[in-house]
């Protein structure tokens, strides 16, 4: 393979809670994202009720719920072939445990998918992207509770039936491995002070893994052509030094993430997990039926996000945020305004690492640069850094394809500015389309095309044979 195949899915990716707004419209219930206020410490306050004095960015987001038709028209102008988006679970099942779906929620996604299809854009759907209905946390303790498997399966059954002729590519859980670093968003659990954290996280993870497998099984019965993927945050971990202890420790930390795709793609718990469980005093409840489900319900492809790499040293605290793990500073890499190292070669590295491990198709479903944008006096946004980031990463994808990696597509994160998941900010912008709104939700909401928009269009229409962005710096 010399370069990008003709069928390569160039696209963009968003999540319902970061784009739609309309958080209580047409019967929608609250989701975990809806109780997170703006600010870098949004996960610390973990209050499951709304504070009238606080600002919750997901409530209005960029109002995609009402403006999706014009937004899709703008996105279509770049020639994208697919849009990855999520269905807000709590629009379909407001509390998560109902037995009848909310028709108004289903209708909304009918219109959304129809509009995309009219523009020749294929919807790629994340079934659960940090949007578990809040009532499932309050009433069941979130994914700690095996009862959620049944609720999730019911939800999947409904959306697979409903959209079987409109959607082909699905992903079961966004960044399932973030159960460790972002347990509230990724696994809908609040870890109490006196709880054994790893026990809770792995039991919740087990339930999600079984739910993911059930989704695969149900999906294939409804439409054998469906492609169901798992989705992980897979920004790589490099050893901070060549000291063997650092190398092995980085390797083990990487396995903490790959554990999830090992189960989802291979259908069984990996052998290394037995020792890990014993040494960390984890006792999971796993039934024989669960093991059969995992074996039967493997995923067809691996979707992953890639933003940066991190450096790990043995014994250092393991911390992370939405971009992946946080490590030591890498002196060889520049950083974004939010301190995320920029490492295009890391993307080629990860593509090769994952393909070597699984030999399954990969889908890069998130990559992008979060940066502040300046609207110049003429009303233009000349976002050179974003274009450079895009160019450098696409060049590395090209190399990975030449290396023999099988890639389904590439969806840039946030092709239109959306609310940040990590901080709730608007000013951390990823888009090729600007949305005039600030961190407190003030602003007209007007959309402005950035120069990178034309650059991404050139990449897509030329299938990455024209990579020069000079013409767009003016």
Positions annotated as catalytic residues are: 175, 366
Nearer to ligand BG6, 386 or 428 (CB): 428
- DSSP letter at 188 equals -
Helix (H) or strand (E) holding 164: none
Cβ 371 to ligand BG6 shortest distance, Å: 10
Are 397 and 351 spatial neighbours (Cβ–Cβ below 8 Å)?
yes
Which residue has the closest beta carbon to ligand BG6?
Answer: 422
Instruction: Name the residues that contact ligand BG6, by CB under 6 A.
Output: 15, 18, 174-175, 233, 305, 322-323, 366, 370, 413, 420-423, 428
Nearer to ligand BG6, 212 or 305 (CB): 305
Terminal alpha carbon distance of the chain: 35
Burial of 165 (0-12, 13-18, 19+ CB in 10 A): exposed
Cβ 247 to ligand BG6 shortest distance, Å: 26
Nearer to ligand BG6, 287 or 337 (CB): 337
Cβ contacts of residue 8 below 8 Å, gap of 6+?
A: 81, 407, 408, 409, 410, 463
Cβ 431 to ligand BG6 shortest distance, Å: 12
Cβ 218 to ligand BG6 shortest distance, Å: 24
**364 φ, ψ to 5°?**
-85, 100
Cβ 289 to ligand BG6 shortest distance, Å: 31
Burial of 273 (0-12, 13-18, 19+ CB in 10 A): middle
Query: Distance of alpha carbon 4 from its chain centroid, rounded?
Result: 23
Burial of 313 (0-12, 13-18, 19+ CB in 10 A): middle
Nearer to ligand BG6, 203 or 423 (CB): 423
Cβ contacts of residue 286 below 8 Å, gap of 6+?
A: 206, 269
Cβ 1 to ligand BG6 shortest distance, Å: 28
The CA distance from 85 to 317, in Å, is: 33
Please count the CA atoms within 13 angstroms of the CA of 122 that sit on its side-chain side. Answer: 19
Nearer to ligand BG6, 170 or 269 (CB): 170
Nearer to ligand BG6, 132 or 458 (CB): 132
Written as one string, the DSSP assignment of 417-469 is ----TTT--SSSB--SEEE---TTS-S---EEE-HHHHHHHHHHHTTTS----
Q: What angle do CA 41, 12, 234 make, to 5 degrees?
A: 55
Cβ 173 to ligand BG6 shortest distance, Å: 11
- DSSP letter at 258 equals H
Nearer to ligand BG6, 203 or 235 (CB): 235
């Amino acid at each position: 393979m010399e370069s990008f195949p003709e069928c390569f899915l160039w696209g963009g990716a968003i999540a319902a809670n970061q784009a739609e707004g309309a958080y209580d419209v047409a019967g929608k219930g609250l989701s975990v994202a809806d109780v997170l206020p703006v600010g870098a410490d949004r996960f610390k306050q973990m209050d499951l009720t709304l504070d009238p004095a606080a600002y919750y960015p997901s409530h209005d987001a960029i109002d995609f719920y009402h403006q999706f038709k014009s937004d899709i028209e703008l996105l279509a102008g770049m020639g994208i072939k697919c849009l990855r988006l999520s269905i807000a679970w709590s629009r379909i099942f407001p509390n998560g445990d109902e037995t009848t779906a909310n028709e108004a929620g289903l209708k909304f996604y009918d219109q959304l998918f129809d509009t995309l299809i009219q523009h020749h854009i294929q919807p790629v759907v994340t079934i659960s992207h940090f949007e578990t209905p809040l009532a499932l946390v309050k009433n069941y303790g979130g994914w700690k509770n095996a009862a959620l498997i049944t609720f999730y399966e019911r939800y999947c059954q409904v959306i697979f039936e409903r959209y079987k002729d409109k959607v082909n590519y699905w992903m079961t859980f966004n960044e399932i491995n973030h159960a460790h670093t972002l347990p509230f968003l990724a696994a809908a659990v609040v870890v109490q002070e006196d709880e054994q954290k790893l026990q809770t996280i792995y039991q919740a993870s087990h339930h999600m893994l079984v739910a993911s497998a059930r989704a695969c099984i149900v999906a294939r019965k409804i439409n054998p052509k469906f492609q169901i993927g798992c989705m992980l945050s897979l920004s790589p971990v490099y050893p901070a030094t060549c000291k063997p202890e650092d190398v092995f420790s980085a390797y083990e930390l990487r396995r903490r993430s790959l554990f999830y795709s090992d189960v989802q793609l291979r259908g069984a718990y990996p052998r290394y997990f037995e020792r890990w469980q014993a040494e960390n005093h984890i006792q999971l409840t796993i039934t024989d039926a669960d093991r059969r489900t995992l074996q039967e319900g493997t995923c067809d492809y691996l979707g992953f996000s890639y933003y940066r790499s991190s450096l790990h040293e043995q014994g250092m605290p393991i911390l992370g945020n939405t971009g992946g793990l946080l490590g030591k500073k890498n002196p060889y890499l520049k950083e974004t305004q939010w301190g995320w190292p920029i490492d295009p070669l890391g993307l080629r590295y990860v593509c090769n690492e994952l393909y070597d491990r699984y030999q399954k198709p990969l889908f890069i479903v998130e990559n992008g640069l979060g940066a502040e944008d300046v609207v110049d006096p003429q009303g233009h946004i000349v976002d050179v850094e974003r274009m450079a980031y895009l160019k450098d990463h696409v060049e590395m994808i090209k190399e990975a394809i030449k290396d023999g990696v099988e890639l389904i597509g590439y969806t840039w994160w946030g092709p239109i500015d959306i609310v940040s998941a990590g901080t709730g900010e608007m000013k951390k912008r990823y888009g090729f389309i600007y949305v005039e709104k600030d961190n407190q939700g003030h602003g007209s909401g007007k959309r402005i095309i950035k120069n990178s928009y034309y650059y991404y269009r050139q990449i897509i229409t030329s299938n990455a044979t024209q990579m020069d962005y000079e013409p767009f710096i003016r």
